[in-house]
């Protein structure tokens, strides 16, 4: 296919023969053409860059500069390799031999100027011969697409699938355990009836005592299964207007004996403002119980559990801090994953459930930890008044 020659190409072909007036008109026309192209490129939602062999950014549209944090003054000076750390090494051969005859695609995470996920394409432009004999000038077009929303949505779907798999497994395990427990209950009842028909003796009393212990253990196991199912099965919150300080007080009162037995000192500093929110009392009890329990188990005797609440115009904050062993960086990134636990007897579901309940209440949970120093769990609750304002608006 033969490329059609434009009027501008014809004029450029005779540039040596142009007089001053025609040369001035040509420069003005070129400036208008450049301005039009820049307007078109700056209108595009995708980032568009042009780089040379060394990765130097020779051109960038508005979206491209915004995505990689490039300033206008840096065009022609900054390199793509510095603006997108790790990209050069991922392309191989130091980045200089980037796709001379093909196209490359990457999904990258940028942390500057803000955390974003970007899909990046690099395509070579036909090279031209430079001023020096045998010197090739190579350039590449880089297309950047912001896929942050798509990536986050995908992660939420994966998390939802994980939770669904946990619930399915929990239901199956509960069913499989429930059947033998029911069978044990029936047979223990039959044994009790037979024992009542026997004459009273030391041996029969011992047997009755043993059967009673077995009945209690069966009831306890049945209770564990019910509590487990209630914990992992999604529940529609029963929202009521309540003071979460009062909910916290009841949880601490319930855990008072265990805290005392472990030698844990408890310090509570609550804000003066009434902490009125819209929430489900029982679900919030579960949140506070799980977080305090985790803090308790992370500390040695003599440790300190510190609970503070504060407020701003929109949110209430509760910080539950322990002086325990802390969490290392690797495990901190996994604390909300199902089945992840560092405890010998832990199920790995507690914080996943807490996170789900907080989301259902329009709040968030954050964790900061330092090994050998302790952990701080921050719970954020939207104010009840703010919720009403949002509905009215």
Per-residue pLDDT of the chain (393 residues; tens, 9 = 90+): 455 555 556 666 666 677 788 778 878 887 887 778 788 888 888 999 999 888 899 999 999 999 999 998 999 999 998 888 878 776 654 445 545 555 778 888 888 888 888 888 888 886 665 555 455 667 889 999 998 888 777 777 777 777 677 667 776 777 677 778 888 888 888 888 888 877 777 777 788 888 888 888 788 777 667 766 665 666 678 899 999 999 999 999 988 888 998 999 999 998 988 888 999 998 899 899 989 998 998 899 999 999 999 988 888 999 999 998 888 877 777 777 765 565 655 555 678 888 888 888 988 888 888 888 888 999 999 987 544 333 333
Quote the pLDDT of residue 8: 57
Strand order in the sheet with 315-322: 265-269, 304-311, 315-322, 374-382, 364-370
Contact 69, 87 (CB under 8 A): no
Quote the pLDDT of residue 389: 38
Chain-centroid distance, C-alpha 162 = 14
Quote the pLDDT of residue 22: 77
Quote the pLDDT of residue 341: 63
* Alpha helices for the chain (secondary structure H): 7-13, 20-43, 62-68, 80-83, 87-91, 148-197, 202-232, 244-254, 256-261, 281-297, 329-332, 350-360, 384-392
Supply the DSSP symbol for 3. P
Contacts 24+ apart (CB under 8 A), 119-128: 119/144, 119/145, 119/147, 120/84, 120/87, 120/144, 120/145, 122/91, 122/98, 123/99, 124/98, 124/99, 124/100, 125/50
Supply the DSSP symbol for 5. P
pTM value? 0.46
* pLDDT tens-digit readout, 79-94: 998 888 878 776 654 4
**What is the rounded CA–CA span in Å between residue 32 and residue 84?**
33
Roughly what angle, to the nearest 10 degrees, separates helices 202-232 and 148-197?
Answer: 160
Contact 46, 65 (CB under 8 A): no
- Between the two ends of the chain, the Cα-to-Cα distance in Å is 61
3-state DSSP assignment of residue 306 = strand
Which of 102, 50, 98 minimizes the C-alpha distance to 75? 50
Domains and CATH numbers, the chain: 44-146 (3.30.450.20), 156-232 (1.10.287), 240-392 (3.30.565.10)
Quote the pLDDT of residue 388: 38
């Amino acid at each position: 296919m033969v490329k059609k020659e434009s009027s501008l190409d014809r004029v450029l072909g005779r540039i040596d023969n142009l007089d001053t007036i025609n040369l001035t008109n040509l420069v003005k026309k070129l400036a208008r053409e450049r301005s039009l192209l820049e307007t078109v490129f700056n209108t595009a939602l995708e980032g568009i860059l042009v780089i040379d062999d060394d990765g130097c950014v020779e051109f960038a549209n508005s979206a491209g500069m915004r995505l990689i944090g490039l300033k206008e003054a840096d065009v022609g000076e900054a390199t793509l390799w510095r603006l997108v750390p790790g990209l050069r090494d991922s392309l191989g051969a130091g980045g200089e031999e980037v796709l001379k005859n093909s196209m490359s695609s990457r999904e990258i995470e940028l942390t500057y100027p803000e955390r974003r996920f970007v899909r990046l394409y690099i395509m070579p432009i036909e090279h031209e011969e430079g001023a020096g004999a045998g010197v090739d000038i190579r350039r590449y077009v880089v297309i950047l697409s912001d896929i942050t929303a798509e990536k986050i949505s995908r992660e939420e779907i994966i998390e939802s699938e994980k939770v669904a798999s946990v619930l399915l497994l929990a239901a199956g395990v509960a069913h499989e355990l429930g059947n033998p427990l029911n069978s044990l209950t029936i047979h223990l009842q039959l044994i009790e009836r037979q024992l009542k028909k026997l004459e009273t003796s030391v041996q029969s009393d011992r047997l009755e005592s043993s059967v009673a212990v077995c009945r209690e253990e069966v009831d306890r196991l049945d209770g564990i299964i019910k509590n487990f199912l209630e914990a992992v099965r999604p529940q529609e919150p029963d929202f009521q207007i309540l003071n979460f300080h009062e909910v916290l007080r009841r949880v601490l009162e319930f855990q008072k004996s265990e805290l005392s037995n472990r030698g844990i000192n408890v310090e509570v500093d609550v804000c003066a403002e009434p902490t009125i929110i819209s929430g489900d009392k029982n679900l919030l009890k579960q949140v506070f119980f799980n977080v305090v329990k985790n803090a308790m188990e992370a500390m040695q005797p003599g440790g300190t559990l510190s609970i503070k609440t504060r407020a701003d115009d929109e949110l209430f904050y509760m910080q539950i801090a322990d002086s325990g062993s802390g969490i290392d960086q690797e495990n901190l990134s996994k604390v909300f994953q199902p089945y992840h636990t560092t405890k010998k007897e832990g199920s790995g579901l507690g914080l996943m459930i807490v996170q789900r309940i907080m989301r259902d209440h329009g709040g968030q949970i954050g964790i900061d930890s330092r090994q050998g120093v302790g952990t701080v769990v921050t719970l954020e609750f939207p104010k009840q008044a703010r919720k009403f304002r949002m509905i009215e608006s």
